[in-house]
Amino acid sequence: MRKALLPILLGITLAGCTTNSEVRSLVKDKEWRSIFNEKDLRGWEKVGNFQTEVKGGALYISAAETNENAWLLTSRTYRNFDLELEFLMDKETDSGILFRYDPSQSGLPNTLGYEANLLWNTDTQNPLGSILFHARAKTLPDLLQDQWNQIAIKARGDHLSISINGVKIAETHSRASMSGRIGIQVPGKRGQNIAVRKMRIRELADTRISSPQLEQLYRNAATNDLEPIIAYETLDDWQNLNGGKWKLNSDGVLHGFSDDQNSFFVTKNSYRNFYLQLKFKIKKEDNSGIFIRKHPDSTNVSLNDAIECNIYDHNGFEHAYSTGSIANFARAWSHLVDYSDWNSMEIFARDNHIIMYVNGQKSSEVHLPEKYNKAGNICLQAGPRFFSDRKSSHVYFKDILIKNMDRP
């Protein structure tokens, strides 16, 4: 990665939404094949000044000097594919795997395509396995430093995902680049190096995307059809689980206060596919969230049964699932929240596809296991602080609007 700026500052628009019924195959999938012959750089092009060596079936790439603009690129382009390789690097190395870089344009490959970032440092917006500026990777505790690790990249239509050692850690939908070269970013400083081996690719059937991105689809459908999820004359359509206090103020602000236990304010209605928008205000390190698709018959709200769209920051860049994350599944960018003012949140739910936005920025996205593809309650949380002597939290919600996409 180079110059890891906040994605908010870059103003990048992320897009994409497809389902199997919306993609038409044009050619047959191909078999796996190697893209490195383990002997030389035939089929690759060097850009910039760096050193390479092939030994033991692996390709070693070293920076010849401090240089931020050096890449090793495939000679040909690829569109839809599964790519797998193993990499070896130390803690100081800053590198990445480029894909769908469009060579017909002028600019850096990681801005004209995508980069699966390879950087051990966790104190960053784009830790190892992130799709640079597009999807922030989860932190994996079992990464093998100074040993071989596997990275798998899937580029299927506008659906992109990254797995490390068999675990999916980042995904998004984007149409910023649909075809291009694959490459390896040369480490930026003299003395840094990366080794790769077992590089293979399986080209997939070409696809034709016939639908708009999920966000645009839902926003368009809900333009004049959003409904308040709270009737401001009464709270009869909600129930309080696990104690705590919930109060609707005269100005339409819902105030939740926890004690040392989780408190949930739960809709009596169930929703499966929906578009939800709201505003929230919270103090830093106070704990909240929006749980969706809780089983209607359950008197407990848990991650085994529901999906948590998190509102909780306590540890900066290293926070595992900060505000805007889909807990346990997709990690949000850090520093999305203004603690002195109201913040906006949007949640898009279609089948197993969930997307979150915070303050207009896509914060996380995931395709969930099938067991979460069900109707259920929406639950507002006022939770205890887990990393503070003061256990209670205060949270405020207002302008909570929903469009039930399953209803005509």
Ordered by start, the domain boundaries in the chain are 7-203, 214-404
pLDDT of the residue at 206: 86
**Of the ranges 15-19, 143-147, 344-348, which one carries the lowest mean pLDDT score?**
15-19
- Taking alpha carbons only, the member of 188, 174, 176, 203 closest to residue 76 is 203
Per-residue pLDDT of 70-93, as tens digits, reads 999 999 999 999 999 999 998 889
C-alpha 216/C-alpha 16 separation (Å) is 9
**Of the ranges 239-248, 344-353, 366-375, 382-391, which one carries the lowest mean pLDDT score?**
382-391
C-alpha 290/C-alpha 382 separation (Å) is 10
Model confidence at 285, pLDDT cuts 50, 70, 90, reads confident
Judged by DSSP in three states, 218 sits in helix
pLDDT of the residue at 25: 46
pLDDT of the residue at 207: 79
Per-residue pLDDT of 157-213, as tens digits, reads 999 999 999 999 999 999 999 999 999 999 988 888 999 999 999 999 987 887 899
Per-residue pLDDT of 236-284, as tens digits, reads 778 888 778 899 888 889 999 987 788 999 999 999 999 999 999 999 8
Output the DSSP codes for 34-102: ES--SSS-TTEEEESSEEEEEETTEEEEEESSS-SS-EEEESS-BSSEEEEEEEEE-TT-EEEEEEEE-
Share of the chain above pLDDT 90, in %: 66
Q: CATH for 7-203?
A: 2.60.120.560
Model confidence at 105, pLDDT cuts 50, 70, 90, reads confident
Per-residue pLDDT of 171-182, as tens digits, reads 999 999 999 999
Per the model's pLDDT, the better-predicted residue between 209 and 321 turns out to be 321
**What average pLDDT does the segment 141-163 reach?**
90
C-alpha 72/C-alpha 41 separation (Å) is 9
Equal CATH topology for 7-203 and 214-404: yes
Model confidence at 138, pLDDT cuts 50, 70, 90, reads very high
C-alpha 98/C-alpha 215 separation (Å) is 26
C-alpha 364/C-alpha 138 separation (Å) is 11
- Taking alpha carbons only, the member of 366, 374, 376 closest to residue 17 is 366
pLDDT of the residue at 121: 83
pLDDT > 80? residue 235: no
Q: What are phi and psi of 10, to 5 degrees?
A: -75, -25
C-alpha 76/C-alpha 84 separation (Å) is 17
CA 221, chain centre distance (Å):
24
H helix and E strand count, the chain: 3, 26
Per the model's pLDDT, the better-predicted residue between 145 and 43 turns out to be 43
In sequence order, what are the residues at sequence separation of 6 or more whose Cβ sits closer than 8 angstroms to the Cβ of residue 169? 129, 137, 138, 140, 162, 163
pLDDT > 80? residue 3: no
> Strand ranges (DSSP E) for 295-369?
307-311, 343-350, 353-358, 361-367
For residues 187 and 70, the answer to whether their CB atoms sit within 8 Å is no
Q: Which CATH number fits domain 214-404: 1.25.10.10, 2.60.120.560, 3.40.50.2300, 2.60.40.1180?
A: 2.60.120.560
CA 34, chain centre distance (Å):
29
